Chain A
Amino acid sequence: MNALNIQKGASSHSAYDLRDPNAQVEERHTLAVLVENEPGVLARVIGLFSGRGYNIDSLTVAEVDHTGHQSRITMVTSGTPAVIEQIKAQLGRIVPVHEVHDLTVEGASVERELGLFKVCGQGDKRVEALRIAEIFRANVVDSTLESFVFELVGTPSKLDAFAELMRPLGLKELARTGVAALARGI
């Protein structure tokens, strides 16, 4: 290989080439997939993941351009570098998929998720829940004498941490939107 002085994967213009292609360590990647907003497109994406045995850690989808019929799917997936590359290539091959961006390798990006947490309790636990919510800058969006619903926006790990703290304080239910992400800068 080196004797002939060819750079690994010199033609693919992919950051993948900077990593060990045979690494067995699983990586977590956030992908932004821009798709034609047509019936069945989400089923195609999900079917690809189930059919080929890939992981979906989180997935969000909504129309982002009504006149251009374009939706944006943000998905968090995990796998070895080779599997991540396959996932991107397989997504790119779906006919109504216009663009696939790997936000994890394409430079800095911001990731946010919204969670709603229902915490039930009385007395000290209720006060403590409210105090921690303030620390996390969570909003109270519903309150009864025995419960709160907190709204928290942040990275998935921030939501995880909040849920962990709320569990002993009476966390009854939670709903999370999954990650939405954008690349930083222009």
Chain B
Amino acid sequence: MSRTMTGARMVVEALRDQGVDTVFGYPGGAVLPIYDELFQQNDITHVLVRHEQGAVHMAEGYARSTGKPGVVLVTSGPGATNAVTGLTDALMDSIPIIVLSGQVPTFLIGTDGFQEADTVGITRPCTKHNWLVKDTAKLSETIHKAFHVATSGRPGPVLVDIPKDVQFAEDEYRGLKQIEPARYQPVRKGDVTAITQLAELIEKAERPILYTGGGVINSGPGASQLLRELADATNIPVTSTLMGLGAYPASGRNWIGMLGMHGLYEANLAMHDCDLMINIGARFDDRITGRVADFSPGSIKAHIDIDPSSINKVIHVDLAITGDVGHVLEDLLKIWKSRGRKTNSAAIGKWWEKIEGWKSKNCLAYKNSDTIIKPQYALQRLQALTAGHDRYITTEVGQHQMWAAQFLHFDDPNRWMTSGGLGTMGYGLPASVGVQMAHRDSLVINVAGEASWLMNMQEMGTAVQFRLPVKQFILNNERLGMVRQWQQLLHGERYSQSWSDSLPDFVKLAEAFGCKGAQVQDPKDLDDAIRQMIEYDGPFILDVLVEKHENCFPMIPSGKPHNEMLLGDASTEGAIQGAGAALV
């Protein structure tokens, strides 16, 4: 059977072959042939966004909550440049995204044609790989390659730029079985000698810790299961980065909370004092290490990562294992069990006593109020009232994001979507739309700050159009809270441009979008308001007026090591000084 077809039809055919059910996109001149093909089929749902940045964040939310790649379709020029923030976000957080962009026809490339941009040039540093397809004969194979690259090894975003004449021209379609095996094949299995050495280290360690990251979640649900098995069998405490929350359950016996700049006191102190640190799919980000020279000075460090460039990039490790987390953990467990399931349990018992001592500091304590809603209290109530639900959380970026990570609990992977590496304000609302597209009947909540939320608020229109009952939980302090906090700590309380003036009335805004909104400012009314939000059958904006000057603690001031954490009741005067002041 000859499968000659236009390039535009090839795109749809290739997406279908790849099992794509949802595409987030926005039409324009250079992608009209593909939109015409989408119009004539029913297998793939197209979600019409309001801005291309929203499309990429939706695809990220879709990808992170399902484990499948997210697909985006945009036009040339501004369509592609608007996707750049989302691409960079996905690159930093290792999210598999395929962006298909239209391009001016090949004979116009280089002439500064209408809506022409050097899309592959602009997106080269913010994609894992990208392609400009100049020949229809190569189009289907390139799209299949793009899926392979996006999802293999360390996942990431890719872009395929398709000139309009390539979409119109006809050629032979090549399906998944007709293409050559890709040359790009990252190593998945870890080195057995090294894994055996790690098992030996685990047997002898007195103060071990598992420092887990987004790599566990990217490796699939099996990796999370293996992590749980390892932690429970060895009784090693588990901490996680922002990206890895949910891989080990917050209700689990060995969970000691998130680590890092706004991580828990006990987690950071345990990192500082451990004698064996096992990094599983994390990357020693500067938000984790604090001052590198004083990072966990007395420990042997092992690092499991699928990306060789993550190893020894920031922190020199003693034992490197390159491979997929799931494969390595499976081998590690096998080897450790076959050697007799040994641990230094007496020493680990003492280690736990020490950790319990740190826990008793109760580092998340805050002064609650009868008259004003504290943001921490709002999140505690949100946790209490949604815990039993089939729940997905997205966030924007800032104080609310850190409080959400501290006060909401995740017992499963793929339930927590946040912009970690890039810190993209405006991520959460579109991400919540993408998550809800994949999980129509689940409770999807975007924990937001009012300033971040406004950055992509146009996507409420998308939520309403597609009847996606996303809940927007806005902690409104009329401030750019994290900026304000840093100005307080670092810039003599000169609050330059860090307040939200002329805010919209969020309830009226909800009505204007055709959904429902409510505002709450009395702590006594909070529970009812949250219940109303959860129970409402449709998109809902809850404007929670919170304390305006609350600071997010605990905090490792930039340039300080883990053991110099600030707790909420400590003095913050001169907290950030010297070289630390230059850091972000």
Do A and B truly interact? yes
Give the B-binding residues of A (Cβ under 8 A): 1, 4, 6, 8-12, 21-22, 36, 39-40, 43-44, 47, 51, 82, 85-86, 89-90, 92-96, 98
Cα of A40 to Cα of B316 in the assembled complex, Å: 33
Main secondary structure of the interface of B (DSSP, over half): mixed
- Check A92/B312 contact, CB under 8 A, given A11-B194, A43-B121: no
Is the beta-carbon distance between B309 and A86 smaller than 8 angstroms? yes
Cα of A44 to Cα of B497 in the assembled complex, Å: 38
Point out the residue from B193, B308, B316, B317 that lies within 8 Å of A93, measured CB to CB: B308
Cα of A96 to Cα of B149 in the assembled complex, Å: 11
Chain B 186-208 interface residues, beta-carbon cutoff 8 Å to A: 191, 193-194, 197, 200-201, 204
| CB neighbours of A36 from chain B (8 A) | 183
Is the beta-carbon distance between B312 and A86 smaller than 8 angstroms? yes
- Check A11/B184 contact, CB under 8 A, given A1-B300, A1-B318: no
| CB neighbours of A1 from chain B (8 A) | 300, 318
| CB neighbours of A12 from chain B (8 A) | 311, 320, 322
Q: Which residue of B lies closest to A90 (CB)?
A: B309
Is the beta-carbon distance between A22 and B316 smaller than 8 angstroms? yes
Is the beta-carbon distance between A6 and B197 smaller than 8 angstroms? yes
Verify if B128 is at the interface (C-beta below 8 Å from A). Answer: yes
- Check A82/B316 contact, CB under 8 A, given A51-B125, A90-B309, A98-B183: yes
Point out the residue from B125, B184, B318 that lies within 8 Å of A9, measured CB to CB: B318
- Check A11/B321 contact, CB under 8 A, given A51-B125, A82-B312, A95-B129: yes
| CB neighbours of B322 from chain A (8 A) | 11-12
Point out the residue from A10, A51, A98 that lies within 8 Å of B194, measured CB to CB: A10
Is the beta-carbon distance between A40 and B300 smaller than 8 angstroms? no
Cα of A21 to Cα of B201 in the assembled complex, Å: 22
Cα of A151 to Cα of B120 in the assembled complex, Å: 39
Verify if B307 is at the interface (C-beta below 8 Å from A). Answer: yes
Cα of A43 to Cα of B124 in the assembled complex, Å: 9
Q: Which residue of B lies closest to A98 (CB)?
A: B183
Cα of A81 to Cα of B16 in the assembled complex, Å: 47
Is the beta-carbon distance between A40 and B201 smaller than 8 angstroms? no
- Check A9/B309 contact, CB under 8 A, given A4-B201, A51-B125: no
| CB neighbours of A43 from chain B (8 A) | 121, 124
Verify if B38 is at the interface (C-beta below 8 Å from A). Answer: no
Cα of A82 to Cα of B313 in the assembled complex, Å: 8
Max chain A Cβ within 10 angstroms of own Cβ: one of B200, B204, B316, B322: B316
Point out the residue from A6, A9, A95 that lies within 8 Å of B201, measured CB to CB: A6
Is the beta-carbon distance between A8 and B307 smaller than 8 angstroms? no
Point out the residue from B120, B184, B193, B300 that lies within 8 Å of A95, measured CB to CB: B184
Cα of A6 to Cα of B200 in the assembled complex, Å: 9
Is the beta-carbon distance between B124 and A6 smaller than 8 angstroms? no
Is the beta-carbon distance between A4 and B194 smaller than 8 angstroms? no
Q: How far is the CB of B336 from chain A (nearest CB, A)?
A: 15
Cα of A82 to Cα of B309 in the assembled complex, Å: 11
| CB neighbours of B191 from chain A (8 A) | 11
Is the beta-carbon distance between A8 and B318 smaller than 8 angstroms? yes
Category for how many chain B residues contact A: 20 to 34
15 CB contacts below 8 A, A to B, read A1-B318, A4-B300, A6-B197, A6-B300, A10-B194, A10-B319, A11-B194, A11-B320, A12-B322, A21-B316, A43-B121, A44-B124, A51-B125, A89-B311, A98-B183
Verify if B132 is at the interface (C-beta below 8 Å from A). Answer: yes
| CB neighbours of A6 from chain B (8 A) | 197, 200-201, 300, 318-319
Is the beta-carbon distance between A47 and B125 smaller than 8 angstroms? yes
| CB neighbours of A98 from chain B (8 A) | 183
| CB neighbours of B149 from chain A (8 A) | 95
Q: Contacts A10-B193, A95-B149 known; list 4 others, CB within 8 Å.
A: A1-B318, A12-B320, A22-B316, A86-B309
Is the beta-carbon distance between A40 and B120 smaller than 8 angstroms? yes
Q: Which residue of A lies closest to B193 (CB)?
A: A11
Cα of A82 to Cα of B311 in the assembled complex, Å: 11
Point out the residue from B132, B204, B307, B313 that lies within 8 Å of A39, measured CB to CB: B132
Point out the residue from A9, A40, A93 that lies within 8 Å of B124, measured CB to CB: A40
Is the beta-carbon distance between A47 and B308 smaller than 8 angstroms? no
Point out the residue from A51, A93, A95 that lies within 8 Å of B307, measured CB to CB: A93
Cα of A9 to Cα of B318 in the assembled complex, Å: 5
Is the beta-carbon distance between A9 and B320 smaller than 8 angstroms? yes
Is the beta-carbon distance between A9 and B319 smaller than 8 angstroms? yes
Q: Which residue of A lies closest to B192 (CB)?
A: A11
Point out the residue from A4, A11, A86, A92 that lies within 8 Å of B313, measured CB to CB: A86
| CB neighbours of B128 from chain A (8 A) | 95
Q: Which residue of A lies closest to B203 (CB)?
A: A4
Cα of A4 to Cα of B202 in the assembled complex, Å: 11
Q: How far is the CB of A34 from chain B (nearest CB, A)?
A: 12
Is the beta-carbon distance between A47 and B124 smaller than 8 angstroms? yes
Chain B 501-559 interface residues, beta-carbon cutoff 8 Å to A: none
Chain B 148-206 interface residues, beta-carbon cutoff 8 Å to A: 149, 183-184, 191, 193-194, 197, 200-201, 204
Cα of A83 to Cα of B83 in the assembled complex, Å: 31
| CB neighbours of A9 from chain B (8 A) | 312, 317-320
Cα of A130 to Cα of B120 in the assembled complex, Å: 50
| CB neighbours of A86 from chain B (8 A) | 309, 312-313
Q: Which residue of A lies closest to B307 (CB)?
A: A93
Cβ-closest 3 pairs across A and B: A11-B194, A89-B309, A95-B129
Cα of A21 to Cα of B318 in the assembled complex, Å: 11
Chain B 97-124 interface residues, beta-carbon cutoff 8 Å to A: 120-121, 124
Chain B 278-335 interface residues, beta-carbon cutoff 8 Å to A: 300, 307-309, 311-313, 316-322
